[in-house]
Amino acid sequence: MSHAVQHTLAGSATLEGTSLHTGAKVSLTLTPAPEGHGLKFRRIDLPDKPFISADVEKVQTVERATTLAEGSVKVHTVEHVISALTGMGIDNALIEMDANEPPIGDGSSLPFVQLIRNAGISAQTAPRKVWEIREPMHLETGDGTLITIVPCKTFRISVTNVGPQGRFTQYFSSEITPAIYEKEICAARTFVYYEDVKPLLDKGLIKGGSLESAIVIRGNEVMSKEALRFTNEFARHKALDLIGDLMLAGIRIRGHVIAIKPGHGPNTKMAATLKTEYARMRSMVPAPITIPNGEGVLDIHEVLKILPHRYPFLMVDRIVGFEGDSKCIGVKNVTINEPYFPGHFPGHPIMPGVLQLEAMAQVSSVLMLRKPENIGKIGYFMSADNVKWRRPVLPGDTLVIEGNIIKMRGSIGQTRCRCLVNGEVVSEAELKFALLDR
């Protein structure tokens, strides 16, 4: 399957069973959802059939599981089903339940993977957003839990599970792809230490628990309906939980998640950090532009590959968007360090109008040089018409430069351009170019 586009289910599929904490009968149905929908739960047993998004902002801290709440409506123990959908490459799905918790099955996410297989997987057309982690993130709790995410070109998880008194310390590390998830991770079952069972029962939890739905560790012995499925089954199950919990950030990542003694509390805290950092990164795009779905951002290194200009004559710091083949938007941060300020009204520094014109020409060049037949050429000015300067551009301003192609005939191009600061037009012009070989 292509990792570049979003995926949903090809059809619907239903699973029936018992929920872990309440012990109630429950039926869960996975259904397809449109692009950009994400993963949402729906309680079809309640009036109005309310929806709850799989979003870290909806997380309530509950012992031993991840619970989502919207007002008084809750869904408990969501990590296994979200993990299965994420691990299998599903971006958009509706999870309908007639109780407040999914069936526990055998304590792994295998029943949900089988359900996804029954429903089928379908590619959509919108691109999938994957955030490449550039700066390490780190979370540490007082009880020895560490979660760190470091840059990596793939999505990778390395987990060390540490039990009480260091019992059953296990390690698992792998890149996470749908094929690896299905083969190496989804069958790992949930586990509990014998000494924790009574307190959980006393709290009214794990009523649906049995040796068929979890592994119980007593001392150094493992009690379960069947033998361990992997020698490091506990560490694999911790990876399974992490995949589900981290997806509550709402964005897939490229990065290496290194976790020692993870749990739902720290996992969802890291998901909250991811969500905040992702929003902060998106906010760095200057307002009022929204980046179109075209080619996104060209940073200064990519701009330097396209334009022949260099200091002090490069007037574009970044290209922040394209709209189709005919519009390009660039940004120039005007600082007091510009080489022209000492000489252009030193007591009252303003950016020379002709340099705004040059900025428009450079953005126009990027637009025209995008066409395959023009790669490697150079744009020369032929004329500038209807040039208007409307207000001064000062140090500290962010100059947003827009260029639209009006006409393109052979090697001659015409563009209509304008410069804006804080959404107000500061200058505009119509430019004509000839594109020639370097």
86-142 confidence digits (pLDDT tens) = 999 999 999 999 998 899 888 999 999 999 999 999 999 999 999 999 999 999 998
Look up the pTM and report it. 0.67
Mean pLDDT of 58-69: 79
**pLDDT value, residue 289:** 39
Q: Which two tokens stand for residue 132?
A: 């490449």
Mean pLDDT of 224-240: 92
Instruction: Please give the Cα distance from 114 to 108 (Å, whole number).
Output: 11
Please report which confidence band the pLDDT of residue 182 belongs to, taking 50, 70 and 90 as the band edges.
very high
The three-state secondary structure class of 243 is helix
**pLDDT value, residue 291:** 35
151-155 long-range contacts, CB within 8 A, separation 24+ = 151/255, 151/256, 152/254, 152/255, 152/256, 153/254, 154/254, 155/252, 155/253, 155/254, 155/255, 155/257
Percentage of residues in the chain having pLDDT higher than 70:
92
Task: Name beta bridge partners: 66.
Answer: 61
**pLDDT value, residue 301:** 83
**Is the pLDDT score of 61 beyond 90?**
no
Q: Which of 88-102, 196-210, 336-350, 375-389 has the lowest mean pLDDT?
A: 196-210
Going from the N-terminus, what domains does the chain have, and what CATH number goes with each?
A: 5-282 (3.30.230.20), 300-437 (3.10.129.10)
**pLDDT value, residue 387:** 96
7-23 confidence digits (pLDDT tens) = 999 999 999 998 876 77
**pLDDT value, residue 368:** 82
**pLDDT value, residue 211:** 64
Contact status, residue 360 vs residue 397, Cβ threshold 8 Å:
no
**Is the pLDDT score of 71 beyond 90?**
no
Q: Which residue has the higher pLDDT, 281 or 118?
A: 118
Mean pLDDT of 377-398: 92
**Is the pLDDT score of 37 beyond 90?**
yes
Q: Crossing angle of helices 233-246/79-87, nearest 10°?
A: 90
The three-state secondary structure class of 415 is strand
**pLDDT value, residue 286:** 56
Choosing from 76, 237, 256, 264, the catalytic residue is 264
**Is the pLDDT score of 314 beyond 90?**
yes
Please report which confidence band the pLDDT of residue 400 belongs to, taking 50, 70 and 90 as the band edges.
very high
264 is catalytic: yes
Mean pLDDT, rounded, of the chain: 88
Contact status, residue 28 vs residue 97, Cβ threshold 8 Å:
yes
76 is catalytic: no
Q: Which two tokens stand for residue 287?
A: 């307002």
Instruction: Please give the Cα distance from 207 to 24 (Å, whole number).
Output: 8
Instruction: Please give the Cα distance from 101 to 18 (Å, whole number).
Output: 9
**pLDDT value, residue 380:** 86
43-53 confidence digits (pLDDT tens) = 999 999 999 99
Q: Crossing angle of helices 79-87/110-119, nearest 10°?
A: 50
Q: Which residue has the higher pLDDT, 1 or 85?
A: 85
Contact status, residue 377 vs residue 397, Cβ threshold 8 Å:
no
* Cα–chain center distance at 261: 25
